[in-house]
Amino acid sequence: MSRFKLLRKAISVGVVTEKYPYEPLEVPPGFRGKPRIDPLKCIGCGACVNACPPDALSIEDDLVEGIRYVKLFIGRCIYCGRCQDVCPVEAIKLSNEFELATDKHNDLYQVVGLRMIRCRVCGRFYTTYRQLENVLKDLPEEQRPYALLCPDCREKIASLYTSYARR
Amino acid sequence: MSRGNIVKIFKKSLWVFHLNTGSCNGCDIEILNVFAPFQDAERFGVKLVGSPRHADAILLSGPITREALPRALRAFQAVPEPKIVLAIGSCACGGGIWYDSYNIVGGVQRFYEILREKLGIEPPPTFYVPGCPPKPEAILYAIGVVRGLLAKKQVAEIHIESLDEAMDRLREVITDEYHRVIEEYVLGKPLVRKVVLKEV
């Protein structure tokens, strides 16, 4: 191709460079960007933590204060969207945001702290208030009071009643 | 080196050296895209150079494998001061999906610990660009943040529920009837009380 032809071709095509940093960019539909936990919806069940392949999501129980911390580290996230698929209350969602560059490592964290409830019998923290609320919705009326006990106490009491029944 | 200093020092052309430390080539292809005509990073004076001795910044991709560690250390020493690092992708930011593998150092944070221990070098200021891989525009945005053209958006978000808020939600669901049932059928039985309270 001669130089003149090349010039003509370049002029006919025009400028292809996008104006991104000066103009906002529209992402395609279904784009998987930064995940965010909605702190008002999350119940702290840990389904997303089980599903997360790179362990970007983690869960930690503070049994002294009675707070369950759900931590999201975006620096390790691979944007697969599995957490969004398994969340029972649609609390975690992938947004359209991709402008995540930062100069501080701590900026990449999101922490949600949820209060835990004490067992009615032994006084141990065993689940979050919100998860209990969510579970109570699906339980039959006569079983609901037993949701106020921790799994260990419930097991002990259940085994006690069954042993009565055998006699 | 503070944020304002970085903007002042790298006000003019930023020459970058692309350092692949065992990445899957996803991030590398996005880095090449940034320098292609469509997302033209050279309009900001950013140029890809072939030698670390010519570079101002390192574009680090990959989780830093055991094989790549000595080479990465040499490349870090070869870049003249003042320098900055752009950690591209989830692998470089936090180890990615291989963060706990036996042959992986796992992200720049742990790499810097080695840098401090082995060579006694204080790590350079680092910009994290998460993404798997980051969009070319995300890398452009990072360059904009380094150059002071764009403001940083990502901040840590901490939300801790208050106790009153938690209890209010449950008060509507749990009635006094439940507590009465527990008192009567669980705590009220003498045998149950003996067993439960003794073991706890």
- Give pLDDT, residue B57: 92
B90·A129 Cβ contact <8 A: no
Looking at every residue in chain A, the average pLDDT score rounds to 87
Taken in order B144, B147, B149, B154, the sign of the CA dihedral is: positive
Task: Compute the mean pLDDT over every residue in chain B, rounded to the nearest whole number.
Answer: 85
Query: A-chain residues within 8 Å CB-CB of B152?
Result: 101-103, 107
Look up the pTM and report it.
Answer: 0.85
Question: Which phi and psi (to 5°) does residue A141 adopt?
Answer: -55, -40
- Report how many Cβ contacts below 8 Å link chain A to chain B: 197
B86 sits in which H/E element = strand B84-88
Examine the pLDDT at A113 and tell me if it is beyond 90. yes
What does the pLDDT look like over B128-138, one tens digit per residue? 999 988 999 99
DSSP 8-state class, residue B62: S
More confident residue, B182 or A87: A87
Alpha helices in B36-98 (DSSP H): 69-78, 89-94
Closest C-alpha among A46, A89, A50 to residue A68: A46
What pLDDT shows up at residue A123? 82
Sign of CA pseudo-dihedral B141, B146, B149, B154 = positive
**pLDDT of B200:** 44
Q: Residue written as tokens 């930023």?
A: B14
> How many other C-beta atoms can be found within 10 angstroms of the C-beta atom of residue B77?
12
Structure-model confidence comparison of residues A86 and A21, the more confident one:
A86
A126 with A150: CB under 8 angstroms?
A: yes
Of A21, A25, A101, nearest to B127 by CB-CB distance is A101
Residues 6+ apart with CB under 8 A from A90: A41, A84
* pLDDT tens profile A56-80: 999 999 999 889 999 999 989 999 9
- The answer to whether B95 contacts A76, with C-beta atoms less than 8 Å apart, is yes
Dist. CA A43–CA A87, nearest whole Å: 10
> Which pLDDT value is given to residue A38?
92
Q: What are A133-142's pLDDT values in tens digits?
A: 888 888 887 7
- Reported confidence tier of residue A153, pLDDT bands at 50, 70, 90: confident
User: For A110, which of B138, B157, B178 is closest by C-beta distance?
Assistant: B157
Task: Pick A18's closest partner by Cβ from B39, B99, B126.
Answer: B39
Beta bridge partners of B20: B61
* Three-class secondary structure of residue A95 per DSSP: coil
- Which chain A residue has its CA at the smallest distance from B132's CA? A78
Q: Span B89-99, mean pLDDT?
A: 89
**Structure confidence at residue A112 as a pLDDT band (50, 70, 90):** very high
- β-strand pairing of A92-94 with A35-37: antiparallel
pLDDT surpassing 70 at residue A114: yes
Residue B83 to residue B10: CA distance in whole angstroms: 9
